[in-house]
Amino acid sequence: MWINPEDLTVTQWQVLNEAGELVREAPSLGHRQLLEVYRYMVIARAYDERAMRLQRQGRIGTYAPFSGQEAAQIGSAYALERSDWMFPSYREAPALWVHGAPLEYSLLYTMGHVFGARLPEGVHAFPVQIIIAGQATHVMGSAWASTYLEDKRVSLCYLGDGATSQGDFHESLNFASVLKLPAIYFIQNNQWAISLPRSHQTGSATFAQKGLAYGIPGVQVDGNDVLAVYQVTMEAVRRAREGKGPSLIEAVTYRNGPHTTSDDPNRYRSQAEVESWKQKDPIVRLRRYLTGLQIWDDEREQALWQEAAQVIEQVVAKAEGVPKGTLAESFDYVYATPTPRLQEQWATLERGR
């Protein structure tokens, strides 16, 4: 008679184990594509490490690192068509790059440039969302528009585990399910919502099961296994494009660094925990697989990291070469017609000069 939580079992989907060995059939990615995915992951790690140093040097503002989550982001973004829509939070720079955003835009955003969040024409992604779960309602609206236009586009949003506690998340799931919208909710369960552990975030055994109450299928995937992430996201994309409605994906991963550069993770998690997750490093795992395929070796590895360093140097130089914005510019992009309150603030600014 009762529907009991203990009656539900969820098996985590995995393709590559931690040793880089196949545990089930790999997705249909050719060698060129595998190497492209690996290149994205290495450049992402190099960027993240450099961005942390830039912030400590005072050259960018507050920064949200993503090292450890490269497979979750790049594997999922790689499954999308460029015509599909992406809705990121503040930690999804690698996903945006795969989807066509230039790397320097991520730096410009952290430097406080007004146009840092304005992506080039043709990049189908919304600006970075810092309001927790705000992008959940946006993805639902975008998917609803695609249904109305019959354009066969899929809309995917990235959420942290903390976002599943917000009302926007649940309202969006309900609408998307009822209307059978082509939306994908991709939860990066990196174990911590700032300092709140996953165990204090939800009473559910998994985040993957949260869609079931709304009639949405869910899957839990090893978020450090880029092949598994790509595979389940491709399935969600297929379902959405065929009109079968939304999907919910929980990628179990870990953020190696702090929540942001203003956070000290040593206050709430142990070094032993961090080290245990580093054994599951997504980059190391894919490198072992590529080596086993005999399409990778130490010489290529060294050359790629050198290339990544050069790419990041060029990106930093390009971003720092853009003239700094002014406070006055921020008044130009709030309302089409300035409100009396905005005009009053502008007048105050002018008097203070």
Report pTM: 0.95
Q: Tokens 């080596």 — which residue?
A: 291
Query: How many residues in the chain?
Result: 353
Nearest CA to 283 among 94, 128, 101? 94
What angle in degrees, to the nearest 10, is found between the helix axes of 282-292 and 226-241?
100
The domain made up of 8-322 has a fold known as Rossmann fold (3.40.50)
Q: Longest C-alpha distance within the chain, in Å?
A: 71
Give the pair of three-digit tokens for residue 154.
């899929």
Residues that are catalytic = 255, 259, 268
pLDDT of residue 353: 67
Q: How confident is the prediction along the chain (353 residues), in pLDDT tens digits per residue?
A: 898 988 898 999 999 999 999 999 999 999 999 999 999 999 999 999 999 999 999 999 999 999 999 999 999 999 999 999 999 999 999 999 999 999 999 999 999 888 888 899 999 999 999 999 999 999 999 999 999 999 999 999 999 999 999 999 999 999 999 999 999 999 999 999 999 999 999 999 999 999 999 999 999 999 999 999 999 999 999 999 999 999 999 999 999 999 999 999 999 999 999 999 999 999 999 999 999 999 999 999 999 999 999 999 999 999 999 998 887 788 888 788 889 999 999 888 888 76
Instruction: Annotate the chain with three-state secondary structure.
Output: CCCCHHHCCCCCECCECCCCCECCCCCCCCHHHHHHHHHHHHHHHHHHHHHHHHHHCCCCCCCCCCCCCHHHHHHHHCCCCCCCEEECCCCCHHHHHHCCCCHHHHHHHHCCCHHHHCCCCCCCECCCCCCCCHHHHHHHHHHHHHHHHCCCCCEEEEEEHHHHHCHHHHHHHHHHHHCCCCEEEEEEECCEECCEEHHHHCCCCCCHHHHHHHCCCEEEEECCCHHHHHHHHHHHHHHHHCCCCCEEEEEECCCCCCCCCCCCHHHCCCHHHHHHHHCCCHHHHHHHHHHHCCCCCHHHHHHHHHHHHHHHHHHHHHHHCCCCCCHHHHHHHCCCCCCHHHHHHHHHHHHCC
To the nearest 10°, report the CA torsion of 325, 328, 330, 331. -160
Q: Tokens 């961090």 — which residue?
A: 274
Domain ranges, ordered by start, for the chain: 8-322, 325-353
